């Protein structure tokens, strides 16, 4: 059996008009693109919309992809921008008090003084349910949320994240460290309010080692993929 083509070979073939190569390339990256969109937008509906927009943008922009960055880095830049665009659209929608844009009740993760922050991985899942994590993630400022998602969901290294966000590597490292710290603090406090008798250790998060976790929730990727050959 022939070894699967790498991204570079698939890109070259797709740019030459090979629709099969294009389909394979997009399907290869869809799960992580959707995972990034899911953690940035905070809900399935907006994530699906953002991921679909990202796929369309990749199809339309592939001819201009020059290979200076990896295809994955390029794809995550597009996914990040699509997710942030979706958040901006969402902020323009009228909301009912205590409800999200889909009419669902918002989880309250305040500690009595402040709203939750954040994002993270398997260790975060141990500290709170999915709704709590989503609320905490969305409350984290975008400047911190996005780098942490790109590190812990997309598994990009610091240099790749710097390329996606067009910021220095040092800034990436600082924002990830601060974002992880805010997340750990907020989730722990919110979870402690809901489970006062919890016997979980207070050091459930190690800010220096959270990159060893994976924010990807396999359930988040159980979505129907768009037809990769139909950008419209």
The yes-or-no verdict on residue 65 having pLDDT over 70 is yes
The answer to whether residue 145 sits within a structural domain is yes
Asked whether residue 192 falls in the same domain as residue 143, the answer is: yes
The answer to whether residue 227 sits within a structural domain is no
Domain boundary residue among 93, 122, 148? 93
Range of the domain at 211: 110-216
The yes-or-no verdict on residue 203 having pLDDT over 90 is no
The answer to whether residue 150 sits within a structural domain is yes
Tell me the pLDDT tens digit for each residue of 75-124. Answer: 999 999 999 999 999 887 765 444 554 444 444 433 332 333 333 445 44
Tell me the pLDDT tens digit for each residue of 137-168. Answer: 788 999 999 998 999 888 899 999 999 999 99
pTM (two decimals): 0.68
Asked whether residue 211 falls in the same domain as residue 117, the answer is: yes
Q: pLDDT over 90 for what percent of the chain?
A: 49
The yes-or-no verdict on residue 174 having pLDDT over 50 is yes
The answer to whether residue 103 sits within a structural domain is no
Asked whether residue 119 falls in the same domain as residue 197, the answer is: yes
The answer to whether residue 100 sits within a structural domain is no
Kindly report which listed range (41-50, 71-80, 208-217) carries the lowest average pLDDT score: 208-217
Q: What is the CATH number of the domain that holds 172?
A: 1.10.10.10
Q: Which of 184, 174, 217, 202 is nearest to 118 (CA)?
A: 184
Asked whether residue 58 falls in the same domain as residue 148, the answer is: no
The answer to whether residue 191 sits within a structural domain is yes
Asked whether residue 18 falls in the same domain as residue 87, the answer is: yes
Asked whether residue 76 falls in the same domain as residue 20, the answer is: yes
The predicted pLDDT at position 5 comes to 86
The predicted pLDDT at position 218 comes to 35
The yes-or-no verdict on residue 172 having pLDDT over 90 is yes
The answer to whether residue 98 sits within a structural domain is no
The answer to whether residue 67 sits within a structural domain is yes
**Between 217 and 34, residue with greater pLDDT:** 34
The yes-or-no verdict on residue 46 having pLDDT over 50 is yes
Domain boundary residue among 93, 125, 155? 93
Say how many domains are in the chain. 2
């Amino acid at each position: 059996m022939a070894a699967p083509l790498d991204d570079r070979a698939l890109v070259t073939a797709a740019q030459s008009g090979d629709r099969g190569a294009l389909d394979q390339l997009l399907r290869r990256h869809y799960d992580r693109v959707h995972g990034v969109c899911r953690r940035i937008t905070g809900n399935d509906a907006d994530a699906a919309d953002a991921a679909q927009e990202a796929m369309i943008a990749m199809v339309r922009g592939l001819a201009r992809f020059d290979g200076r960055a990896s295809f994955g880095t390029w794809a995550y830049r597009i996914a990040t921008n699509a997710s942030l665009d979706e958040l901006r659209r969402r902020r323009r929608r009228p909301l009912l008090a205590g409800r999200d844009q889909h009419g669902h009740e918002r989880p309250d993760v305040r500690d009595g003084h402040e709203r939750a922050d954040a994002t993270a991985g398997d260790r975060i899942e141990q500290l709170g349910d999915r709704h709590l994590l989503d609320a905490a993630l969305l409350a984290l400022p975008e400047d911190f949320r996005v780098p942490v998602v790109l590190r812990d969901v997309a598994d990009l290294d610091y240099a790749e994240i710097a390329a996606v966000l067009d910021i220095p590597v040092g800034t990436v490292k600082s924002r990830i460290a601060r974002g992880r710290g805010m997340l750990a603090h907020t989730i722990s406090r919110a979870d402690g309010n809901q489970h006062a008798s919890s016997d979980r250790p207070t050091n459930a998060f190690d800010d220096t080692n959270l990159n060893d976790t994976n924010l990807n929730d396999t359930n988040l990727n159980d979505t129907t993929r768009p037809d990769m050959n139909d950008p419209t």
